Amino acid sequence: MAASWPENPRLITTRITRLDGMAKASGKAKYPSDMRPEGTLFGVMLYSSLPHATVKSIDTSAAEKMPGVKAVVVIVKEGATLRYQGDDIAAVAAETEEQARDAVRAIKIVYEALPHAVTEAQAMAADAPVVVKGGNVKKGRASTTLEKGTETIDAAFAKAESVIEGTYSVPVITHVCLETHGLTAMWDGPDKIVAWASTQAVQGTANELAGRFQIPVSNVTVLTDVMGGGFGSKFGADIWGLTAAELSKKAGKPVKMFLDRIQEHLAGGNRPSATGKIKLGAKKDGTLVALAAETFGTGGVSRGAQFPLPYVYSIPNTTREHADVFVNGGNARAMRAPGHPEGCIIMEAAMDDLADKLGVDPLEMRIKNLAPKDFRTEIYLEEIAIGAELIGWKAKRKPRGKNGNGPIKTGYGMALHQWGGAGARDKQVTCTINPDGSVELRSATQDIGTGARTVLAIIAAEVLGLQPTDITSNIGNSTFVPGQASGGSTTTPSMAPPALNAVTQAMEAMFAKIAPAVGGAAADLSLKDGKLLVKGEAKMSWKDACRKLGMTSITETGKFTDGLSAGGVAGVQFVEVTVDIETGKVRLKKIVAVQDSGLIINRMAWDSQVSGGVIGGLNYGLFEERVMDPTTGQMLNADMELYKIAGASDMPEIIVHALDTPAMRARGVIGIGEPPTIGTAAAIGNAVTNAIGVRVTQWPMSPKNVLDALASASNQGKA
Amino acid sequence: MSTEGSDLPVVEESMVVPCRHLRNKGMYIYTDGSGGESHDGYDNTIYWCLQTMKSFGPDDDQVDGHECRQPGRSCYEAL
């Protein structure tokens, strides 16, 4: 019989401390960048200092003779085009990091500088230098949807009783992983590699290493016990990982290669920018009639700047044109809910602006335009009601610009978001019950900071009547049975079903084996509070029962089965801010995040995930921006000083509310990593606008952007 | 795609085998074929090439879900 989630769980849905929490907090946990096997060399990458250039020549002879240098690898050929500051050229491995850096500086590169375009404006100019063949602007699929009886989008807008037009923009931001990208590679003989990698995909990374060096993947072991954040940017070995392995092969010693903070900003990935020129029309009561959108964004030299629009709301007539703009900047990479934060910002800003023009409550306007046939609509209604109560929307919020005469203005904003978060159906977990009573789960997934290790242990402990600390949750090893790569909020919904099945199968196998020895049929046995029960009566301890297994452990492999997980979540966030209109400084006072995600396995980790998502979102809303210098083509804030993110004193009160109802639990497990980071920046922008009475069209809500908006409105006589 | 006057059969893009070096994040996640990076109404898939580990292939042209299904491309190797 297929396993199912318990109706009255003992551990699942409760707050469980992470198994590796103390090790992480105390520094005992070893991150991949902490790993230094005996004889480890330090690898350093040489990257382009120019935003666009041709490599005329590379001379590594001086570097190879430098003290401590053991290997040099040239990545690009002479004549190659370098397309952004940070583009990889060569690498050195030496006995110390300082020696490797000295040697990298000794590599002689002759560049031919090429004209560059590092901003969208530069790249879209008529006389722009060519960033990529085929043009710097690549148009995406244009789409138009019209309701029956409406011939054109103009005819649709003619039915609207109020229309707003606005342009909203959000800049490129980088992932800012606290542990930078990289790995430590160690060869074991001529055809075996062990790599300690900071990755979201141990098996994907192993496959790439095996493929590059033409060795069997079974000869590659990628280990990720813990890791310091990826946010979508760490799938695979990357050029620096492959280069580390090549340097290691040449030097005959392990090589540790992790990007420095500058290169992490330049080449470790980014979330594309987004700009939307929006026209949105509605009836007097706020019912949306039509949307026309022209959007663009840049993901550097790669594509990927598309985003969903319209977002969340049902609009009968829409037209959309989008263009990806190529600039001389590092590749975009997937970043926590790719596309959704951008789409949410642009849609929700336009919604608030139209509500303000109509004089209707933006909360009521959102409710009015929820998609009637979407299962999420009922969830949104419930979440909006809860969130509005927690922020005090009805009691405290005033219409835009009606927030008193003093310089400090208080404002409120909100935003809705949605995500998928369904699991992949092809992953496995093994469960081993040993005669000494120890229990081990194994799978080639990894814990990217979300608490995945603890989730698996909770499931096992729930089934076996044990505590999570009784379970060894062994993940982060590419040689184990296939586990889920951690992206798209899919890890828990992919891994929880096979974990439940593996443990249930192992328990049943154990019962079948020990039943004769404990005086009952297998069907009479059960487990509770660390004891074996026969016909409901405690017979012996768990350990004593396991001893009845004799000399052989039981190992079962669980696979995915339907009904244990699902996909599709809603979510709403409310924000309270104060804005000093003399300095432009925004202070966050309170953020309310109301979120659903089906059955919650570990409420403590779930709360942390939502809080973390909100914190990521408030960084996007208030601080983060990659600043490129149009003249030199350099990133001006490729560090942790001028690339702003929030500190402790910037944190507001964050209220996390789980929509944890019987109906939600019945849906099964759904991922939570991405949804709570989507709506925060949009809600912050709307709160700032509500406070000061003027739309700030450019994110982040920095003092400059706030003051620019106030000045612009003042010049137009609006403020 | 069809060419006027050509005798070649019309081949849907989805039927053409992609290059074995083409990668995107969805390939690592939706290994069961349940989904991908493309969505109704928008596609923000970011591709890279396993040969270069970048968004440009060995031939210095862009890596793309369409371009990397072209057997005529010099670096193309069928999956």
Interface of B with A (CB under 8 A): 23, 25-26, 28-32, 34-35, 37, 39, 41-48, 50, 52-56, 60-62, 64
- Whether the predicted pLDDT of B12 surpasses 60: no
Angstrom distance (rounded) from CA A412 to CA A620: 18
Q: Cis peptide before A700, with omega less than 30 degrees from 0?
A: yes
Catalogue the E-assigned strands of A162-234: 162-170, 173-174, 182-187, 193-197, 220-223
- Give the contacts of A167 (CB within 8 A, at least 6 positions apart): A275, A276, A277, A278, A697
* A204 touches B: beta carbon within 8 Å: yes
Interface of A with B in 214-233 (CB under 8 A): 232
Contact A304 B48 (CB under 8 A): no
What domains sit in chain A, N to C, each tagged with a CATH number?
A: 21-29+423-559 (3.30.365.10), 32-114+181-258 (3.90.1170.50), 270-421+567-715 (3.30.365.10)
What distance in Å separates the CA atoms of residue A440 and residue A443, rounded to the nearest whole number? 10
Q: Can you give the pLDDT at residue A233? A: 97
For residue B44, which residues of chain A lie inside 8 Å, CB to CB?
272, 303-307, 338-339
Q: Hey, are the CB atoms on B28 and A332 less than 8 Å from each other?
A: no
pLDDT tens digits, residue range A642-684? 999 999 999 999 999 999 999 999 999 999 999 999 999 999 9
Q: What band does A613 get if pLDDT is binned at 50, 70 and 90?
A: very high
Tell me what the mean pLDDT of segment A545-550 comes to: 98
ipTM of this complex: 0.93
**Candidate from A201, A301, A303 with C-beta closest to B28:** A201
Alpha helices, H only, A484-602: 491-518, 542-547
Q: Which residue in this structure is represented by tokens 């996390």?
A: A656
Yes or no, beta carbons of B42 and A201 under 8 Å apart: no
- Residues A519-538 pLDDT 10s: 999 999 999 999 999 999 99
Residues 6+ positions from A418 with CB-CB distance below 8 Å: A312, A340, A376, A568, A569, A570, A571, A675, A678
B47–A424 C-beta distance less than 8 A? no
pLDDT one-digit tens code per residue, B24-78: 999 999 998 876 656 777 899 999 999 999 999 999 999 999 899 999 999 999 9
Band of residue B15 on the pLDDT scale cut at 50, 70, 90 = low
In this model, does residue B13 exceed pLDDT 80? no
Lowest mean per-residue pLDDT among A13-22, A90-99, A613-622, B2-11: B2-11
Residue B5: which pLDDT band, with cuts at 50, 70 and 90? very low
- Interchain pair A485, B28: CB under 8 A: yes
Q: Which residue of B has its CA nearest to A338?
A: B44
Rounded to the nearest angstrom, the minimum Cα separation between B61 and chain A is: 7
Residues 6+ apart with CB under 8 A from A649: none
The pLDDT of residue B7 is 44
The encoded tokens of residue A363 equal 């909360």
CA gap B46, A371 in Å, rounded = 29
Query: What are the distances in angstroms from CA A504 to CA A212, A423, A517, A557, A559?
Result: 40, 20, 20, 10, 11
Percent of chain A, pLDDT > 90?
A: 98
Task: Look at the block and give the residue holding tokens 């110390």.
Answer: A96
Q: Nearest CA of chain B to the CA of A615: how many Å?
A: 24
The predicted pLDDT at position B10 comes to 47
